[in-house]
Amino acid sequence: MLRHVPHTRACVQAAIDTVKSARSFGPGTSLVEKHYRIAGNPAGLNRIEEMYSLMLKVLDRPDFYCTLDTTDEGEGISTVAFARLGGFFLADAAGKIKFRRGAWVASGIEDFAAFVFIHEMRHFVEGSSDIGHHAKGWVTDESMLRLRPDQTVFNCDTFAGFALEARNGEMQRPGWVKGTAFR
Ligand SMILES: [Zn+2]
């Protein structure tokens, strides 16, 4: 997974640049609106940008913030990965992003790896008690389209999908999104 830190970083940086651009040129046709639907709300844009900026700090020290689930504590949580809510703000080993055996599949597909990474980092850098599982899947999925703006700005998969499209341009729904079960 750490092999994909550069690609994940490029996605997160593209997300920040896209939010900055939406701030300058207005919501209009922005990719921000497709994913977050906040109608250019400045507080919403600030929150989104802040979250991605914190993710860059995680990606600055991936060896420190990420590890493997060597104790199998995540067996009942996810086969792929899990992260402590707000773990970034805890001291040392109290909070880490933990990858599990299912991450092996994601590690072979760079966009899949980035998606998992960004989903987990949203948990990890969250300062509120919002877990971020309002809906899972791709931006065009019904459950994702039903999210209110006050949910999109907390939703892990929204952060992941937006960053991928910010980097790659608008994408067909990736096959690996379906049936993905990570927390
Ligand atoms: Zn999750």
Residue 16 maps to a domain: yes
Give the integer Cα–Cα distance in Å for 49 and 80: 26
Cα of 24 to ligand 1 centre, how many Å? 31
Q: What's the pLDDT score for residue 24?
A: 82
Full domain range(s) for residue 88? 2-177
How far is residue 139's CA from residue 147's CA, in Å, rounded to a whole number? 10
The Cα–Cα gap between 3 and 107 comes to 8
Residue 38 CA to ligand 1 centre (angstroms): 22
Domain assignment present for 123: yes
Residues of the chain with pLDDT under 50: none
pLDDT, residue 12, reads 98
56 CA to centre of ligand 1 in angstroms: 18
Domain membership of residue 183 (yes or no) is: no
Phi, psi of 39 (to 5 degrees): 55, 40
CATH label of the domain that carries residue 52: 3.40.390
Residue 172 domain flag: yes
Q: Taking the complete model, does pTM exceed 0.85, yes or no?
A: yes
Q: Is residue 24 part of a domain?
A: yes
pLDDT at 95: 82
CA 123 to centroid of ligand 1, rounded, Å: 7
In the block, residue with structure tokens 């300058």: 24
| Of residues 122, 129, 139, 142, the one with CA closest to residue 183 | 122
Angle between helices 42-60 and 156-168 (to 10 degrees): 80
Structural domain includes residue 61: yes
Q: How far is the CA of 84 from the centre of ligand 1 (A)?
A: 10
CA of 155 to the centre of ligand 1 (A): 9
Does any domain span residue 182?
no
7 occurs within a structural domain: yes
User: What is the reported pLDDT for 25?
Assistant: 76
Question: How many helices (H) and strands (E) would you count in the chain?
Answer: 9, 3
The structural domain count of the chain equals 1
